[in-house]
Amino acid sequence: MANQTATPLMAPPNGEMSNFVDPPSRATLQIAITATLLGIAMFFYLNRMYVKIRLMRRVAWDDAALLFAMLLTVVYFGACTWAVTKGKMGRRAWNVTLQDLSSPDLLIPLYMSATLPPFLLIFLKTSFFLFYLQIFNALKWVRYACYAGIAFVFSLHTGIGIYWFVAASPYNASWIYSNLGVIPLLSLGLMVDIYILAIPIVAVNSLQMERRKKMGAMVLFVAGGLACVFAVGTIITRVKFEKSKGDALWAQVPYNIFSLCEIFVGIICVCTPSLAFSLKYEKSIYRIGFHKSRAIWGTVFSSQSSTVSEGKTFDDSDSEQLGTVDPTKSTDRKYARYFKMVGTTTNVNTVQTVRGNAV
């Protein structure tokens, strides 16, 4: 046992020494990026629930699927964070001991991070298809495309999930260093992402509507292209991981980052239409807050303008320009520059009377 606590997983390269106390780690990098995107995804998700429950007062099956996807996403994020904070993941192999490799703080989150994503992606990708069935239900080909997509996603990711349950193990780490044929599976996942992105773009393009409105609707869905970008990044980092030659704990972090970010961006994309709706709906908290803020700002602006006007000295030319204009008839700041407003008509007359008496 004493030997395992002092023996590194890999001999350090020339010029390097093993550091088991405070070695360089990618833990901070992973936590900073993934926690930030998780926060953004959580905002989009909570806004979607606000729109569906509070504003629309209607929930559907896609909301249920997204709820399970969100819960599993939080658990997956927790497992990846656990691995880098307690399990020594993110360190170079020569800075990790044999005992660390058999620690539950590493083995359990590694097992969870391998088995959770397939089932998470079933719910997440299915929520897209169920959402399309609601908004494009009148298009027959969209219905068939969504049903086929749901069947394929369920079959693919269920098979991947079962595969990982068998291949991985929470009791030893030998499977981490094996090439388990993940690249082809990830490539199939990328194809599904492209399929999900293509359906709404083709559907919107086929609708009879103004070109400007078409482009606006497409923008909401084209954001899903970011999920495809992160899916490509996941494949690339997985290839590098499988070529790491024993330094897997260090190479695992970029793979975790892209894998998590792909999921976060997927959640953001499926929730984007709800955000657009909430920003336009007059009774939403955003619109109400905007109107209240504008009213407060208008009051402050008017108060400052009134204060400046009270301290200003007028000459004869100013009086002539004012004439008989009643400033109370134009209180809109948009037109205020056409009037030299000094308060009310009473104030103007008072100023003129005082000046006349002085003369």
| pLDDT, tens digit, 9 for 90 and up, residues 142-197 | 999 999 999 999 999 998 888 888 888 777 777 776 655 678 888 888 899 899 98
> Can you give the three-state secondary structure of 263-279, one letter per residue?
HHHHHHHHHHHHHHHHH
Most confident of 33-37, 98-102, 270-274, 327-331: 33-37
**Could you give the maximum distance between any two Cα atoms of the chain, in Å?**
106
Residue 329 has pLDDT above 60, yes or no: no
Confidence at residue 180, expressed as pLDDT on a 0 to 100 scale: 59
Residue 326 has pLDDT above 60, yes or no: no
| Contact criterion met (CB below 8 Å) for 233 and 258 | yes
Q: 81: pLDDT confidence band, cut at 50, 70 and 90?
A: very high
Strand intervals (E) in 243-355: none
The full set of domains in the chain, from first to last, is 27-281 (1.20.1070), 287-358 (no CATH)
- The predicted model gives 248-269 an average pLDDT of 92
Name the more confident of 135 and 177: 135
* Tokens of residue 36, six digits: 């930030």
Residue count of the chain, please give it: 359
Q: 342: pLDDT confidence band, cut at 50, 70 and 90?
A: very low
pLDDT above 90 coverage of the chain, percent: 31
Residue 236 has pLDDT above 70, yes or no: yes
Residue 343 has pLDDT above 50, yes or no: no
Residues whose CB falls within 8 Å of the CB of residue 336, separated by 6 or more in sequence, listed in order: 305, 330
End-to-end CA distance of the chain: 106
- The predicted model gives 236-245 an average pLDDT of 82
Confidence at residue 112, expressed as pLDDT on a 0 to 100 scale: 92
CB under 8 A, 24+ apart: contacts of 244-249: 246/9, 246/10, 246/93, 246/177, 247/10, 247/92, 247/93, 248/93, 248/176, 248/177, 249/9, 249/88, 249/89, 249/90, 249/91, 249/92, 249/93, 249/96
What DSSP letter does each residue of 28-65 carry, written as one string?
Answer: HHHHHHHHHHHHHHHHHHHHHHHIIIIIS----HHHHH
Residue 291 has pLDDT above 90, yes or no: no
Give CA–CA dist 45/234, Å, rounded.
23
Confidence at residue 181, expressed as pLDDT on a 0 to 100 scale: 66
* Tokens of residue 125, six digits: 């990708």
CB under 8 A, 24+ apart: contacts of 184-192: 185/156, 185/160, 186/231, 186/234, 186/235, 186/238, 187/235, 188/156, 189/121, 189/156, 189/157, 189/231, 190/228, 190/231, 190/232, 190/235, 192/125, 192/149, 192/152, 192/153, 192/156
Give CA–CA dist 111/83, Å, rounded.
10
- Range from 162-176, 280-294, 338-352 carrying the lowest mean pLDDT: 338-352
| Contact criterion met (CB below 8 Å) for 260 and 75 | no
Confidence at residue 309, expressed as pLDDT on a 0 to 100 scale: 56
Q: 308: pLDDT confidence band, cut at 50, 70 and 90?
A: low
Q: What pTM value is reported for the model?
A: 0.77
* Tokens of residue 317, six digits: 């030319």
Residue 353 has pLDDT above 80, yes or no: no
What SS3 state is found at 8?
strand
Residue carrying the six token digits 């008496």: 357
- Average pLDDT taken over every residue of the chain: 80
Confidence at residue 179, expressed as pLDDT on a 0 to 100 scale: 57
- The predicted model gives 316-330 an average pLDDT of 47
Chain mean position to CA 77: 14
Burial letters 64-102, b for 16+ CB under 10 A, else e: ebbebbbebbeebbebbbbbbbebbbbbbbbbbbebbbe
Residues whose CB falls within 8 Å of the CB of residue 274, separated by 6 or more in sequence, listed in order: 44, 47, 48, 51, 52
